Structure 1
């Protein structure tokens, strides 16, 4: 694994019965990069992230910070610094905002000072969460729930943060706020791997992109070298 790469994936394959959702893909994320995987519904994007998090069976080799994690149990992966913020957020609606955040800190649960420090960082990034820290998470707006899901993932101090469709169901104003927050997270030193259907805004914050079609990458490269209109018409189905 190249020393400037935090994540390297080789020949990743995911099957659901006879159907290959991901078909032998190869990609990497560099240290402190933002990389986006774009594509239409059903292209295999979410299956790719779930594989990296160890949540679904897969074939191929996944190397994270020079360690082969291809067969690592899912609960161990966050301890290595790889954290997934899932599609549709996956918050605990009957717990308070702050209790949701504390659940995200289970990998550092013995370090009370670090937990306090990380909660302060999350509240500085998402001030609305601090204002609502005693509120039940299920009563938050969709945008606030997305902030909570990201904040919970950050409690783990990830070296690589993976996000699955963070713009889903949000107003344009909130999408802009969420993506501005991702820029801030990245500038603090956290690499980001983003799965997103909103190609334009994903490309605005990404160093590189991979465009997935039918389980394989049809296009990859530096964001500045990709023609958005061609990408949109040919690969994204819009």
Structure 2
């Protein structure tokens, strides 16, 4: 089960950043400017940031297996729609659907994953999920960029659909159906508001700096 969640984390993060390496390919194919294609990344990130908390609140009572399978189904569909898009507007809509799915995925996935394990190993579980997400930039995006250069941008954009389907089936079959409040990691054992705030600020600053630089680095290297 942890491997399925790690694969899902890798897939969502790859889908999020994939256009970074495909900027000029998409620009030429759809006949739009490179900055417009860059909005496929920027708009995605803004959507995730804005929608995460409201979606988590709306779905707070829905069993986590149902939520995760629904999110992965949305990832599969939106990735296929994006790959088949013949216009910039359709591609942007598909990207925003993926972004809405990812916004809730990260809010749900962490408690689900750590709740499957004893408290003494939950730190390692969080670390494994972080590694899976980080591998998207180390392996997923470069591989997608190479694949796009060989075959065109639609194929790498469609690839998350296949990976997401594997995670979807595994989670649908193996993850127990339980209400969020019944899970072992539903509540923190010793919450600290100050430390939590520090984590939020640090995460916001690091994510903003990283995403602000990605497209400039790609553009300058082409």
Whether TM-score is above 0.5 comes out as: no
TM-score (norm 2): 0.29
Task: Name the structure where helix makes up a greater proportion of residues.
Answer: 2
Which is strand-richer, 1 or 2? 1
TM-score by length of 1: 0.27
Q: Which has the higher contact order (CA 8 A, sep 6+)?
A: 2
